[in-house]
Amino acid sequence: MSFNPLSRKLLLILIATSIAFPTPYLVAFTDRRSYSDRGEEVVKPDHLTLTAELRDQDEEGNTTYLVTAYIKNTAEEIVLDTPFQVFFSIISGPQEVTIQGENPQVTAEGKTEISLFTSAKQGTIIVQSASKGLKKAITRIFLTPLGDIDRDGFPDAVELTTAEDRYNFIEWFITIAESQYYNKNRDWTEKYQDCSGLIRYAYREALSLHTNEWLDKFYFSFSIAIPDVKKYNYPEVPILGRRLFRIARGPFKPSDMREELFRSEVSASVLKNYNTVFLGRRDEDAERGSLLFFYHPSEPDLPYHAMIFAGDDNGIVEKDNDDWIVYHTGPVDDTKGTVKKVRREVLKKHPDKTWRPIPTNPNFLGYYRLKIID
């Protein structure tokens, strides 16, 4: 294939504007390469990642979904410029599905986006992205009601409503967070390693499918026999996709996704204010998997701090103790901090009284339950 002088820029090609399963759609290509040589390791484009999330719903109930494809290299970094052609195809789903617009959009982050419009109210749309020489990616769009019965800001389709799913989520959430104390996973990006970052990472990974490939990323080897969450699995989260955390008050509305009221990365204060419900400040208010929050107004850059109440630790250390707390310290003395695991009774004797989880400490805000299991 030959390129004209404009081939140095990203060339977008849309082969068709209507869906005929499973005809692929050429999305984008460029002739620029972005391989990097890191010593003996050459980091190359390796696989595609495909995500989908609700974008909007009109008064008649017709929904628009944003489908995003991007290429990652062997270091799990997004590749901005690649010499690969990327294709979208609709593998299956209701016939009432169309692609909106004539051209896909390419973002500054190297992601290629298309919008799917459907009048269907139920069913599953399966979308695939493919590129020669790369692993294919598939994502599923679950067409589901967009209600929020308890008006807590999270769509009902996302909340874990069975006792089994709630229990399994909590067990995975704690196990993953606790494992980072022994050795951090290679895919927990360093720039997100702080108190809220540990919670977000454990939350997201608890919702994932825990395959042998998933387990391979753990440096810390442990035996687990916890079933996966059944309702859905990350990143194919109904409506939200990869944006799991709410950033504003109010009940859920379809327009929340267009207005970006859900994000993938949020601070400890946002976790507390919009993603949890208050349980209390006494020891007996704590639940396994609940979060502890502290507030230090004297530290304006990072005034809020969050921890995870693990309770017992499944006998990893001591079988008789049921008050373990896991947390990331955040930046400390010009260091990036580390993950710690300590008993609540020990933390109650912290030399700095503002870090004691007791009702008489005004800096201790209390225990909070994640809304996804509320």
DSSP 267-327: -HHHHHHHHEEEEESSGGG--TT-EEEEE-TT-TTS-EEEEEEEES-TTSS-TT---EEEE
Q: Are residues 100 and 183 in the same domain?
A: no
Least confident of 82-91, 129-138, 207-216, 263-272: 82-91
* Rounded distance between C-alpha atoms, residue 118 and residue 104, angstroms: 17
Residue 151 falls within a domain, yes or no? no
Q: Are residues 292 and 345 in the same domain?
A: yes
Q: Are residues 367 and 303 in the same domain?
A: yes
Residue 349 falls within a domain, yes or no? yes
- pTM of this structure: 0.80
Q: Are residues 59 and 199 in the same domain?
A: no
Q: 326 has which bridge partners?
A: 308, 341
Residue 34 falls within a domain, yes or no? yes
Residue 95, amino acid: Q
Domain carrying residue 79: 5-143
Residue 125 falls within a domain, yes or no? yes
Q: Are residues 253 and 367 in the same domain?
A: yes
Residue 243 falls within a domain, yes or no? yes
Q: Are residues 185 and 228 in the same domain?
A: yes
**Four-CA torsion 317, 374, 302, 251, nearest 10 degrees:** 160
Instruction: Give the confidence band of 280 by pLDDT, cuts at 50, 70, 90.
Output: very high
Last residue of a domain, one of 92, 113, 143: 143
Cβ(293)–Cβ(366) below 8 Å = yes
pLDDT at position 2 is 42
* Rounded distance between C-alpha atoms, residue 350 and residue 307, angstroms: 15
Q: Is the peptide bond before 155 cis (omega within 30 degrees of 0)?
A: no
Instruction: Give the confidence band of 101 by pLDDT, cuts at 50, 70, 90.
Output: low
Residue 42, amino acid: V
Q: Is the pLDDT of residue 100 over 90?
A: no
**Predicted confidence (pLDDT) per residue in 44-65, tens digit:** 667 788 889 999 888 888 999 9
* Rounded distance between C-alpha atoms, residue 364 and residue 341, angstroms: 18
Last residue of a domain, one of 110, 143, 176: 143
Q: Is the pLDDT of residue 247 over 60?
A: yes
Find, among 112, 125, 118, the residue nearest to 98 by Cα: 118
Last residue of a domain, one of 143, 176, 202: 143
In the chain, DSSP finds a helix count (H) and a strand count (E) of 6, 19
**Predicted confidence (pLDDT) per residue in 168-219, tens digit:** 999 999 999 999 999 888 889 888 999 999 999 999 999 999 998 888 887 7
Q: Are residues 183 and 285 in the same domain?
A: yes
Q: Are residues 351 and 203 in the same domain?
A: yes
- Residues 6 or more apart whose Cβ sits within 8 Å of residue 306: 195, 196, 199, 268, 271, 272, 291, 292, 293, 294, 327
**Alpha helix segments (H runs only) across the chain:** 163-182, 195-206, 212-215, 255-258, 268-275, 344-347
Cβ(199)–Cβ(330) below 8 Å = no
Find, among 348, 345, 365, 255, the residue nearest to 305 by Cα: 365
Q: Are residues 90 and 9 in the same domain?
A: yes
Residue 253 falls within a domain, yes or no? yes
Burial degree of 157 (CB within 10 A; 0-12, 13-18, 19+): buried
Q: Are residues 44 and 90 in the same domain?
A: yes
Residue 144, amino acid: T
* Rounded distance between C-alpha atoms, residue 156 and residue 252, angstroms: 9
Sheet holding 45-57, edge to edge: 45-57, 63-73, 112-118, 97-106
pLDDT at position 35 is 35
Q: What is the mean pLDDT of the chain?
A: 83
Domain count, the chain: 2
pLDDT at position 232 is 96
> What's phi and psi for 82, nearest 5 deg?
-135, 155
* Rounded distance between C-alpha atoms, residue 119 and residue 206, angstroms: 32
Q: Are residues 66 and 137 in the same domain?
A: yes
- Token look-up 């998997």 returns 289
Find, among 323, 276, 324, the residue nearest to 304 by Cα: 276
151 or 186, which is more confident = 151
Q: Is the pLDDT of residue 141 over 50?
A: yes
Residue 156 falls within a domain, yes or no? no
* Rounded distance between C-alpha atoms, residue 76 and residue 187, angstroms: 8
Q: Are residues 328 and 191 in the same domain?
A: yes
Residue 328 falls within a domain, yes or no? yes
17 or 84, which is more confident = 84
